[in-house]
Structure 1
Amino acid sequence: MNRPRSIILVGDTRKERSAAAIAAHEKWLQKRFKVVLRDLDGSADLSRAEADLIVLFGGDGSILSVARRLAGNAIPVLGVNTGRLGFLAEVPLDSVRSSIERLTKNPIRTSDRMMFEVEIAGNAGKRTLLALNDAVIARGSVSRMVHLRLVVGEEPFTLVSGDGLIVATPSGSTAHSMAAGGPIVDPELEAMIITPICPHSLSMRPIVLPARRAIRIELARRNGDVVLTVDGQEVVPVADGDAVTVRRTRKPFRLVHPGPGAWFAALRDKMGFAGALTPKLK
C-alpha cells in the first residue's frame, strides 16, 4: 500500500496508559499526517470513515473492538500497545515514532485477517455480530455440562458434550482456542478451527476446516444457562430453539505489520513458543 497521508487517531482516554500515550504523541502525529478523525471514546462510526491509516493506542482488546466496528472497511490499523500482551497491537510504546517514521518512507506492510459473521437466530428473532478472534458457545454461571449439536454445511457432524465449543479464526487460534488445546494456525491462512472446551469424551479433538464452510451450532439439550460470547467482549444468551451460524465475512480486517516476521517473533517472544532459540540458528 502507498505511504499514508491521512490518519484516524483511536484510543480510550478513560484508560490511564492510553491517555498518557496519546497526549505524548498526538502533536507529533499531527505534524506528519492529516488527522481526519479523533475517536477517543469509541463513539465514531468507523465503518464509514475514510483515511489512509488508523493509529490505535490500546491493547489487543482494543484491536478486536475496532475490527468489529470497521465492519469490512479496508482502512489498515497500526496498533500501539498500551495493554499487557500486545500480540495484535504489535508496536511497543518505546518505538512508536521510529515505527511510524518507517511508514512515511516505505509502503505499508499489511496482513489481511479473516473475520467471522456470527448469526444467532431463534424465536426471539435474529442478530448478527462480527468476530476477529472467536465465537464461543459455553455454559453460563452454573458448572453444568452443555450439549451442542454441530452441523458443518448441511451435514450433521457430531454432538459435543462438555463446557462448550470454540469456533476460532486463525487470528484467534492463539487465544481461547489455544488455551483449550486447539492448534496454532498462521493468521494469514483462511480456516475455521473448532475446539471443544473440556469435552466429556476421550476421542473428541479439535478440527480445522476450510473457510468456505458454514458451521451451525444448535442447543441439543438444556442443562442450565448457555451463552454465546464473541471476541470475549459481546455476550448473548442462547435460548431453546436458537441456532448459532458461523461463516467467513466477505472482507478481511487489515492489520499493519511493523516488519517482516512479526507474527513469528511475537509467537516466540510474547507467547513463549517452544522456549528460547538457543543455540541461535545460523
Structure 2
Amino acid sequence: MSNLKTKSAKHFKKIALVGKYQAEGFAHMLLNLANILKNLGCEVFLEAETASNTTISQIPSIPSSEFHANIDLVVVLGGDGTMLGIARQIAGQNVPLIGINMGTLGYMTDIPLQDVELVLTEMIKGHFESDVRYLLEAEVLRNKQVIGSGLALNDVVVNRSGISGMLELTVHVNNQFMYNQRSDGLIVATPTGSTAYSMSAGGPILHPSVAGVVLAPIAPHALSNRPIVLPNDATIVIELIGGKDVSVNFDMQSLTQLQIGDQIKICRSNKTVTLLHPVDHSDYKALRQKLHWNEYPSSF
C-alpha cells in the first residue's frame, strides 16, 4: 500500500493509552501523558491490559476490542514492540495510532518522550501526517487443515531452535516453484518490517510506500540464496521438508510449532493500520537517526 500522507483538521476527543508497563517509572510517565491530553480537552482511557498492570485507578479502562466504537486515537508509550502488539489487535478498526518512544531505537514510535507535550499538542489540533501500513496474514496448514494463523505488521518468520540443525524449506510463489532452501530460517517481511529482523539478516530496506514483500533467508547454506523483493500481491507457500524444533512466529509475538510437511500460506491482509506522525516527519531522517548514517551539509 502506498505511504499516503495527508493533513487533517480532525480533533481527537476520546483517546486510549497503551504502554510498556514493565518500564521503570512507567506509571508516572503515563499519568503525565494523560494530564497533557486532558488539558487539551480529551477524554482519556487506559487500554485494559495496560490498566491491569499498573496501580493507576483514576483513569477508566477499555479493552482493545472495543476501540473501534469508542476511541478516536490510540497513543502508545513504549517502543516498536509495544506498537506492534496493539497494532495487530486493532488492525482494520480504522483507529489511528501515535507512538511515543521511551527508548532509542524506534521507527514507528517516532516521538521522543522529551518532546511529547509540544508535539502532541499540535497533533491533537490536527497538524499531523497520516501513514497507512498493510499487514501480512498467514495460515499454518497440517494435512490441509488450519492449525494456526496470525497477522504480522513486521514479519512472518520460520526458524529453528538454537540447538537444532539446519532446516530445509520448499517455497512456492503464486503456485510457481521458487526454490528449495537449506538455512536457519526464512523471513517474510513487509516494508514496515524491512528495518527489523529482515535487515539484520541482510535484507533490503524498503521505503514504506513500496508495494513489495521481502523474502530474506537466515544464514543460508548456499551463499547465492539472496534476499528478494516480491510483488505486493504475491501468495507465498512455505513447506517444511526437513529439520527439528522448527516454529513459525508472527511479529515475534505469537508462535506455532511445525512438523515435517506443514505449510505456511502467507499473503497480504486486507486489514491496515494508520500511523500518525508530526508534520515534519521524514522516513529518511528516521533512518539517518536510527541507523547512524553519515550526514553532510547539503546545498539543496
With the length of structure 2 as denominator, give the TM-score of the two structures.
0.87
Is the Cα contact below 8 Å between 2:157 and 2:249 reproduced in 1?
yes
How is 1:219-230 mapped onto 2 (pairs within 5 angstroms)?
219-221=240-242, 223-230=243-250
* Cα separation, partners in 2 of 1:168 and 1:255, compared to 1, 3 Å: same
Question: Which AA in structure 2 matches 1:11?
Answer: G
1:181 maps to 202
* Cα separation, partners in 2 of 1:32 and 1:261, compared to 1, 3 Å: closer
In the TM superposition, residue 281 of structure 1 has moved relative to its aligned partner by: 4.2
Select the residue among 20, 24, 27 that pairs with 1:19: 27
* Cα separation, partners in 2 of 1:89 and 1:225, compared to 1, 3 Å: same
Distance across 2 between alignment mates of 1:216 and 1:202: 22
Pairing 1:203–2:221 present: no
Question: Which AA in structure 1 matches 2:202?
Answer: G
Structure 1, 136-145 or 61-70: larger mean CA deviation? 136-145
Query: For residues 82-131 of structure 1, what are the alpha-carbon distances to aligned partners after superposition, in whole Å with 9 as ceiling and x for unaligned?
Result: 13412210010111011111113334411111111121121574322110
How is 1:1-282 mapped onto 2 (pairs within 5 angstroms)?
1=8, 2-35=10-43, 37-39=45-47, 41-42=49-50, 45-49=63-67, 50-123=70-143, 125-221=146-242, 223-272=243-292, 275-282=293-300
Structure 1, 31-40 or 254-263: larger mean CA deviation? 31-40
Following TM superposition, the consecutive aligned residue runs of length 4 or more in structure 1 with deviations greater than 6 angstroms are none
Is the Cα contact below 8 Å between 2:154 and 2:190 reproduced in 1?
yes
* Cα separation, partners in 2 of 1:53 and 1:281, compared to 1, 3 Å: farther
Distance across 2 between alignment mates of 1:9 and 1:175: 24
Cα RMSD, aligned residues only? 1.9
Query: For residues 148-187 of structure 1, what are the alpha-carbon distances to aligned partners after superposition, in whole Å with 9 as ceiling and x for unaligned?
Result: 0001011111111111100000000011111111110011
The runs of 5 or more residues in structure 2 that have no matched partner are 1-7, 53-61
Distance across 1 between alignment mates of 2:25 and 2:168: 42
Number of residue pairs aligned between Structure 1 and Structure 2: 279
